[in-house]
Amino acid sequence: MNTIAFLGIGLMGRPMAGRLAQAGYQVRAWNRTFAKAEALRDSGVEPVMDLSETVRGAQVVISMLEAGPVVAAVIDTALPALAPGTLWIDMSSTRQDEALAFHARLVAQGCRFMDAPVSGGVGGAEAGTLAIMVGGAQADVDQVVNILEAMGKPQRVGPVGSGQVAKLCNQLIVGATLNVVAEALLLAQAAGADPAAVREAIRGGFAGSRILEVHGQRMLERNFVPGGQVKSQLKDLRNVLAAAEAAGLTLPVTELVTRQYETIESALPKADHAAALLALERMNPGIRLGNSADQLP
């Protein structure tokens, strides 16, 4: 399984494809904007302009694309060029029903599929420490575990579609925690405490978290250059609510968090999702965390 077609060279796809090339795999890269794939040439990745040529002869295809409809369109275009038995690993964030539809489409053509969305942001992609949530057959996972380990820590969570369920659970926690951290730091500011010192004081207690560590510091620095984007976080939260509705659940906290992100969606779609702070500040005119200028994409 040495030849990999990597489809989608965005914020996350670029370092992920680079990690695979560094691990010794033959990686072909395709992106709708070819210049993004071309930029990986010096990393040992072969940029290819034509999608069908990218996947032809590859034993493994990895997609890291914007959303389910984009993945579906790419699969439809690539399908005639796929060899029987090709394993397609979709690492995008989609809905569970979309993952199941991709699986059915590929299996009908004699190929295989697993969904393996990730968490850890650009930093995790660059460091090869992504959390990879895998839905698929155990035999398929075993066959590509070394490939996945070149990008992070894979964990099989069930059959096809389960990876997307795990990612939704992850994004539910991330989205809610980002908003709670923003509230805590803004409360510290408004009540006269030093918000940076408050963050430092609580890091080692039960409130300590990766979100407080990374995004709490981002908020203090007012650094909203992505990482994960507002539009991506909002897409995932809406998918959480769709999954909850399908399962007969009400998730009131997720509903509130989704509405918070919706207040800044049109103005700041590409800002880091730590921009939850900006949504909160809009609700509290005159209260602002720190004195730094905003760093925005």
Helices vs. strands in the chain: H and E counts, helices first: 13, 9
Residue 76, pLDDT score = 95
Segment 146-167, tens digit of pLDDT:
999 999 999 999 999 999 999 9
Kindly tell me if the per-residue pLDDT of 1 is higher than 80: no
Q: Give the DSSP letter of residue 83.
A: P
Confidence bin at 228 (pLDDT 50/70/90):
confident
Phi then psi dihedrals of residue 281, to 5 deg: -65, -35
Residue 116, pLDDT score = 97
Segment 59-90, tens digit of pLDDT:
999 999 989 999 999 999 999 999 999 999 99
Residue 150, pLDDT score = 97
Give CA–CA dist 39/48, Å, rounded. 11
Kindly tell me if the per-residue pLDDT of 226 is higher than 90: no
Residue 108, pLDDT score = 96
Phi then psi dihedrals of residue 118, to 5 deg: -130, 160
Confidence bin at 202 (pLDDT 50/70/90):
very high
Query: What are the catalytic residues?
Result: 167
Confidence bin at 121 (pLDDT 50/70/90):
confident
Residue whose token pair is 């992920």? 16
Per-residue pLDDT, averaged over 231-247, amounts to: 91
- 118 beta partners: 132
| CA torsion angle 217 223 228 232 (round to 10) | 120
Kindly tell me if the per-residue pLDDT of 284 is higher than 90: yes
Q: Which domains does the chain have, with CATH numbers?
A: 3-158 (3.40.50.720), 165-283 (1.10.1040.10)
The pTM score is 0.83
Kindly tell me if the per-residue pLDDT of 216 is higher than 90: yes
Q: Which two tokens stand for residue 10?
A: 């965005």
- 6 beta partners: 29, 62
Q: Which two tokens stand for residue 42?
A: 């010096």
- CA 271, 250, 261: angle at the middle one, nearest 5? 15
- 5 beta partners: 28, 61
Q: With pLDDT > 70 as the criterion, what percentage of the chain qualifies?
A: 100
Residue 188, pLDDT score = 97
Residue 183, pLDDT score = 98
Residue 250: Cβ within 10 Å count: 9
Residue 2, pLDDT score = 86
Give CA–CA dist 78/70, Å, rounded. 12
Residue 45: Cβ within 10 Å count: 25
Q: What is the largest CA-CA distance in the chain?
A: 65
